[in-house]
Structure 1
Amino acid sequence: MTKKVALIIGASRGIGRQIAIDLARNGYAVVVAAKTTSNPHDPSIPFPPPPNSFASTINTVAREITDLYGGTATAIAVDTRDTTQINHLISETVRIYGKLDVLIYNSGAIWWSSVENTPVKRFQLMQKINPEGLYASVHAALPYFEKNEWKGRIIVVSPPIYSRFFRGKTAYAMGKVGMSVLTKGLAMDFEREGRKNMAITSIWPAVSIESAATGDMVKKDPTSERDLRKPTIFSDAILAMLNAPVHKVNGLLDLDEDFLRRECGVADFSKYAVVPGSSPRRIMPAKFPILEVEEQDDEGRRMDSAQLRAGRVKI
């Protein structure tokens, strides 16, 4: 396999579908993974199906890539609540293509409401799919990045960390912020271990993106479509992140628009508007808090629980 291999988890429709298609169009062999599957040749379903509908599955996305764009794609089903299935997904990706260069975690569960109106089961579901699914996917992928001489990229769909994000969706924010903490922490691990060709980056939309979730909003209020962007802005930003030097993106929590403007010189974003001529409202702050402290590099005496458990370190 001479192409770079990218695994996109959460690629059945919307943003994930667009990421998979655009990576394939840019020379990647892609594995599209999600829970929902279908017969991509079902004559009762139009092909290609509407990109934000439930008719769009990993199987139809893989067929779009191979049949419409001449790309290389494989669909593998996975339930990210099941660690065994995640381990199988990663190993099967490497079995088929021989390596793993890029891991993108787009899988997610959403429930935006107050703590009082968020049932415990809904909270647990979000944690299982969002931070736990991400952690299991990254943990399963790391040994294969090691076999690839620690050359690779991980992209996480999670936000910059700031207080307003918690308002009105605390249960959801707990998981998503946890995903961003993983980005920051693993980036520090890469730096500490001298893995100069590995990077993990988080990306989040600056403006609401057309998807299955925003489709419900448009049904209730058709005028809200003017505040949406096409998912291509997200895939364009991810491609730019994958092509950027490691030191620019490792540990970065950024927005699609901001990265494209700052690192790629994009000034006109009008082509991404769903409604031509509209000016979609930015939903994210213009600036974010700096998380680092003055004592950032002063860890004191470092403790490693794994080494302690193995008896290799004594206190």
Structure 2
Amino acid sequence: MKNLTGKTIFITGGSRGIGRSLAIRCGRAGANVVIAAKSADPHPILGGSIYTVAEEITAAGGNVLPLQVDVRDEQQIIHALAETADHFSGIDILVNNAGAIHLGNVQDTSLKQYDLIQAINHRATFIAAKHALPYLKKSSQAHILSFAPPINLAAHWLEQYAPYALSKYGMTLLTLGLAEELKNDDIQCNTLWPVTLINTAAVSVKIGEVAARQFSRKPEMMSDAAFAIISGACGKITGQTLLDEDALRLAGISDFSEYACSPEHANQLAKDLFVD
């Protein structure tokens, strides 16, 4: 396994949830962590900000640079990447974690909702990857990891969630395309998605706090899987659409019981979207 000490990781949307968990995990491992997210102040419902997470990373002994960034704004992304490279003398890993969710079919989705999920999901992935490439090409351990699902064209998913599926599958297609485009540049490109629901604030708001605890896993399930991928514990892989369980198994971890929010409900976990 490669060492992340001194490597610089640019995480979009890392102010809460899985992004926060991964940022702290990387900070503890000696990486330079950049939290590029919109929340400069804690969200009134979801909580968390770039500064609260930065404090947690510093407390864990990590190096951190919090940057307020709206991933829909190309110029803000360009500036944040340049500031990161200047501050930490380069960029090694890009994690496309920022995301927006809308659960509805075409008839139940407004144009405003549609535009938002497309902009924050696949469009922001395109912007960040495109402008990170000049920095990543200089790294000896370059990686682009996007939190997006394997493409599942089962009718029941498309019937219910076609707009959201398009936005997330777009991230997957971009990442697979990048893997081929960059194979001669030695830049690994992969996606990661949870098998089960992950107990983030957003999930808790949508399905209720009690249900989230009973039927979900902790964010550490995904952050540990992501860490395994970008640290090299899974081996040198590219062009893969991995589920969190598969990534952890590649890293030699097969017991997932510690990740259940409620151990007594560990056999009743709910599958995440697009996972059959």
Report SS of the residue matched to 2:34.
strand
Distance in 2 of aligned mates of 1:99 and 1:156: 20
Paired position in structure 2 for 1:76: 67
More deviation in 136-145 or 238-247?
238-247
Distance in 2 of aligned mates of 1:172 and 1:147: 34
Cα separation, partners in 2 of 1:84 and 1:236, compared to 1, 3 Å: same
Deviation, 1:225, is: 2.3
**Aligned pair count?**
270
Q: Which residue identity is paired with 1:15? A: I
Paired position in structure 1 for 2:260: 273
Deviation, 1:168, is: 1.0
Distance in 2 of aligned mates of 1:255 and 1:120: 31
Alignment of 1:177-216 (within 5 A): 177-191=169-183, 194-196=184-186, 198-216=187-205
Distance in 2 of aligned mates of 1:286 and 1:146: 33
Deviation, 1:147, is: 3.2
Q: Residue 229 of structure 2: which of 215, 234, 241 is its match?
A: 241
Distance in 2 of aligned mates of 1:232 and 1:7: 18
Deviation, 1:212, is: 1.6
Is the counterpart of residue 64 in structure 1 residue 56 in structure 2?
yes
Q: Residue 231 of structure 1: which of 198, 214, 219 is its match?
A: 219
Structure exhibiting the larger radius of gyration computed from Cα positions:
1
| Contact 1:5-1:101 at 8 Å conserved across structures | yes
Deviation, 1:267, is: 2.2
Paired position in structure 2 for 1:312: none
Q: Which residue identity is paired with 1:202? A: T
Q: Residue 99 of structure 1: which of 90, 101, 125 is its match?
A: 90
Paired position in structure 2 for 1:32: 35
Is the counterpart of residue 23 in structure 1 residue 26 in structure 2?
yes
TM-score (norm 1): 0.80
TM-score (norm 2): 0.90
Deviation, 1:120, is: 1.1
Deviations 1:72-113 (A, max 9, x none): 111001011110101011111101111001110111111110
| Contact 2:11-2:94 at 8 Å conserved across structures | yes
Q: Which residue identity is paired with 1:125? A: L
Unaligned 5+ residue runs, structure 1? 39-48, 289-315
| Contact 2:38-2:70 at 8 Å conserved across structures | yes
Is the counterpart of residue 153 in structure 1 residue 143 in structure 2?
yes
Report SS of the residue matched to 1:200.
strand
| Contact 1:199-1:246 at 8 Å conserved across structures | no
